Amino acid sequence: MKDAPFYFVQMSDAHIFGDPAREFHGTNPARNLRAAVHWINSLDPQPEFCIHTGDAVAEESEAAYRLFNEEIAGLKVPVYFAVGNHDHRSSLRRFVLNETPASDASYAYDFEVGGWHMVVLDSSDPPQVSGRIDAAQLLWLERTLQRQAHQPTVVFLHHHPLPLGVPWLDELRLKDATPFIEVLRRAPWVRSVFYGHVHFESHLTLGHLHFASVPAVSFQFGETAWCDKFSSLPPGLRLVYLEGESLRTVVHRLA
């Protein structure tokens, strides 16, 4: 008997400040995150889980992490996290994951839901804004994918691995991405790679691989090289529907 269809929610780049009233680029990040949580909780049926793909906070402060955790804890479904360039690993572990002692080690892991294999990578490269996946994590990824050979798989990380045609953002993408892409190429059961960082929706394909970014929960960036750096589009998140070995996605804007 095949596993029943299900769906999950991806959101990203909450960029929370310690001050819940703080406005940034015309948005209130804390209010936006609260609205996202409220909307997800209103879905019927509920998603299997939600994943936040990095940049939980916009500043390295205990108050920012505690506010992010307070808002995200309102979700009625399990929540997973990827590390972004604005995140501090030990702070995320301490104030969001409730780990004591809080390690600063790379945060990569995997889990299974409904017959699908979910792999979450740590592309942060402190203190850089751009990302990197080091050799040790690539080896872990290779072994993890091959161990679950032929099981439909989704990969999550914060940084975009392929250029999107926006020069200033592409300077801040995943550096030395070729070895990462090659590991994915050797695993044709990987259906999609989802990430944040760029604050807009995009879709790219490379062979059997599908790459997709999600709008930010906070402020939005312009989607092309010739438009303004910041966009007035509303915050957004992605719903990903899985059935059998098929996957489809839709972005919802929190208008």
Query: What is the domain count for the chain?
Result: 1
Q: Answer whether the bond into residue 101 is a cis peptide, omega within 30°.
A: yes
For the chain, the average pLDDT equals: 94
Q: What pLDDT sits at residue 70?
A: 95
Q: DSSP letter for 197, please.
A: S
Confidence of residue 223 (pLDDT cuts 50, 70, 90): confident
Q: What pLDDT sits at residue 2?
A: 56
Q: Is residue 236 part of a domain?
A: yes
Query: Nearest to residue 172, comparing CAs of 26, 61, 13, 48?
Result: 13
Structure tokens belonging to residue 41: 């909780």
Q: Which domain holds residue 127?
A: 6-253
Render pLDDT for 224-252 as a digit per residue (tens, 0 to 9). 777 788 788 999 999 999 998 889 999 99
Q: Is residue 98 part of a domain?
A: yes
Percent of all residues in the chain with a pLDDT value above 70, rounded to a whole number: 99
Residue type, 125: D
Q: What pLDDT sits at residue 1?
A: 36
Render pLDDT for 139-180 as a digit per residue (tens, 0 to 9). 999 999 999 989 999 999 999 999 999 999 999 999 999 999
- 4 vs 135, residue with greater confidence: 135
Q: Write the CATH number for 249.
A: 3.60.21.10
Q: Is residue 110 part of a domain?
A: yes
d(CA 173, CA 224): 15
* Separation of first and last alpha carbons in the chain: 40
d(CA 242, CA 7): 6
Q: Is the pLDDT of residue 54 over 90?
A: yes
Q: What pLDDT sits at residue 91?
A: 94
Angstrom CA distances, 195 to 10, 22, 29, 84, 189, stand at: 9, 26, 19, 10, 18
Percent of all residues in the chain with a pLDDT value above 90, rounded to a whole number: 86
Segment (H or E) for 82: strand 79-82
Q: What pLDDT sits at residue 19?
A: 93
By DSSP bridging, strand 220-221 and strand 153-156 are unpaired
Using the CB atoms, write b or e for 140-177: b if 16+ within 10 Å: bbbebbeebeeebbbbbbbbbbbebebeebeebbbeeb
Q: Is residue 1 part of a domain?
A: no
